[in-house]
Structure 1
Amino acid sequence: MDGATDDVNQAIACELQLMDPQVRASRELAGQLLDPEFVEVGGSGRRWTYETMLAELPDHPGSSQDAPRYEPSSISGVLLAPGLVHLTFQAVLGERRSRHSSIWRRGEGDAGWRMYYHQATRVPPGVE
């Protein structure tokens, strides 16, 4: 496996971890996967930062073991530069379908891969 493929696969693995209800419910676990400079533009149009996301993520959909979970599909990625990966995918959460784009960057030292930016767009019913 070449370095680019390995980096993309590591970023995908981290993205999937962030969809795990156990990770989403834990400020500590989620904080290890979000970059301190993290920003998200959610499907609602709301802008999230590292602190606001960590504070509210446990109450977001997909964060409970007993509720619907994110079901990702068509996940793919590209290495933009050393230590920088762009991922795109679709996800279903209950009846809601969405498209996602995220940028992951490798942290310093042992920090590993962390989500730097995320964009989610809801897909209306009937749209392919």
Structure 2
Amino acid sequence: MNQETDEIREAIAGELRLMDPGVRMSRSLAQELLDPEFFEVGASGRRWTYDEMLAALPEMDSSTQSGPHYEPSNFSGALLAPGLVHLTYETTLDGERALRTSLWRRRGTSTMWRMYYHQATPVPPDGA
């Protein structure tokens, strides 16, 4: 496999880990996957910072084993620059669909990919 494919695959693996309730419940595991400069524009339109997201993740319904879980599909990725991957995909969570995009970056000599930016856009019930 070429480096671009491996980098995109690693970013997708990180994205999937962030949807795992066990990771969402653990501040230390979530910290490994979120860049310290992370921010998100959620499906609600709210802007989340790194600290706000780490504090809120364990309290979200999608963080419990018995709660609703993300069903991701249609992943696509592009290597924008060395150490910067852009992902797009769709999720369904408790019947609600969203189009998602995220930027994953690897800084310096680190081998760790971390989510730098995430945005979710709700898909209307009658949307394609």
- Give the structure-1-normalised TM-score: 0.96
Residue-pair matches, total: 128
- In structure 1, the residue matched to 2:18 is 18
Q: How much does 1:61 deviate?
A: 3.0
Q: Per-residue displacement from partner, 1:27-70 (whole Å, max 9, x unpaired)?
A: 11001000000010000010001000000111123111001100
SS of aligned partner of 1:16: helix
Structure 1 Cα separation of the partners of residues 61 and 80 of structure 2? 30
- Structure 1 residue 69 and structure 2 residue 33: aligned? no
* Contact 1:32/1:111 (<8 A) preserved: no
CA distance in 2, matches of 1:59, 1:121: 21
Aligned to 1:83: 83
Distance 1:38 1:54, change over 3 A: same
1:28 aligns with 2:28: yes
> Which secondary structure does the structure 1 equivalent of 2:32 belong to?
helix
8 Å contact from structure 1 (residues 98, 121) kept in 2: yes
Q: How does 1:98-117 map to 2 (within 5 A)?
A: 98-110=98-110, 112-117=112-117
5+ unaligned residues in a row in structure 2: which ranges? none
**Divergent runs of 4+, >3 A:** 107-111
Deviation at 1:96, TM superposition (A): 0.8
Instruction: Tell me the TM-score normalised to structure 2 length.
Output: 0.96
1:93 aligns with 2:108: no
Question: Partner letter of residue 114 of structure 1?
Answer: R
Tell me which amino acid in the other structure corresponds to 1:70. Y
Q: Give the match for residue 125 of structure 2.
A: 125
1-side partners of 2:109 and 2:23: how far apart? 22
Q: Aligned-pair RMSD on alpha carbons?
A: 1.0
Residue of structure 1 in register with 2:6 after alignment = 6
SS in 2 for 1:65: coil
